[in-house]
Amino acid sequence: MSNSSSALKIGPRIVIALVVAGLSGVIFMLTLIEFDHLTSTEEFCTTCHSMELAAVPYRESSHYNPASGVRASCGDCHVSEGVLTATFDHVMGTKDLLRQIFGPKYDNPVVNLLHLPDAAFAAREWFNDRNSATCMRCHVKEAIIGKRTDTLKVHQEDAKGKGCVECHINLVHRKVPGEKTFKRDGWNRMVEEEFNLETGMAEKILRGDVEAPAVE
């Protein structure tokens, strides 16, 4: 009995170690939560000028100015729910930061618009891979009534098993055609017309043959 009872005794050092480990774990999780919160805000995202370009149409959308007053932030849509998955998304998002630093000059509106379709397609793939889980934070598919008489039935029956972005795109940011119907040549001509560039300049900018002109 004495041997077994002595074996069960926990010394003060072990207690201190357990307390320190527990407190460290709590502090670490709280730090992650605060980190995920701060890096999911519009203020943080738009510290890069290229994201400010993306934010302009967002601020004119119903997700920013809804009748209900419930505003969807950048993180509400583009960051997964849960501290660990959110942190993972932020870590994976560093690739965009690296592109911003070492890639094309996305701060230039011309370059930004030329590369916008690739960003849109990647974002839609991200939503599809997660079955539009971030949309479901606010929207209950089976309860969407809409303005058409058949909207509720469509969402309850026809949309069953589908993600939101399989039907709904171009709601928040600048409109980009679906990937299956997208025509690069047509997009390039549109960019050239919008910024008064000579025909063929878009392809040269994309190849890196010339620099995009400075525009406001």
Specify if 36 maps to a domain. Answer: yes
Going residue by residue through the chain (216 aa), what tens digit of pLDDT does each one get? 455 555 557 788 888 888 899 999 999 999 989 989 999 999 999 998 899 999 999 999 999 999 888 899 999 999 999 999 999 999 998 888 898 889 999 999 999 999 999 999 999 999 999 999 999 999 887 777 777 778 887 887 777 788 899 989 999 999 999 999 999 999 999 999 999 999 999 999 999 999 999 987
DSSP string, 44-65: HHTTSHHHHHHHHHHTTSTTTS
Specify if 139 maps to a domain. Answer: yes
Cβ-count burial 61-85 (b if 16+ within 10 Å, e if not): eebeeeeeeeebbbbbbbbbeeeee
Specify if 99 maps to a domain. Answer: yes
| pLDDT at residue 88, rounded to an integer | 92
Report the alpha-carbon distance of residue 71 to residue 69 in Å, rounded.
6
Host domain of residue 155: 12-182
Task: Tell me how many domains the chain contains.
Answer: 1
CATH code for position 147: 1.10.3820.10
Specify if 16 maps to a domain. Answer: yes
User: On the CB side of 29, how many CA atoms lie within 13 Å of its CA?
Assistant: 8
Residue 54 and residue 21 in contact, taking contact as beta carbons nearer than 8 Å: no
Residue 87 and residue 35 in contact, taking contact as beta carbons nearer than 8 Å: yes
**What is the distance, to the nearest Å, from the Cα of residue 156 to the centroid of all Cα atoms in its chain?**
27
Specify if 207 maps to a domain. Answer: no
| pLDDT at residue 158, rounded to an integer | 77
| pLDDT at residue 216, rounded to an integer | 72
Specify if 56 maps to a domain. Answer: yes
Specify if 214 maps to a domain. Answer: no
Specify if 199 maps to a domain. Answer: no
How many helices (H) and strands (E) the chain has is answered by 11, 0
| pLDDT at residue 8, rounded to an integer | 57
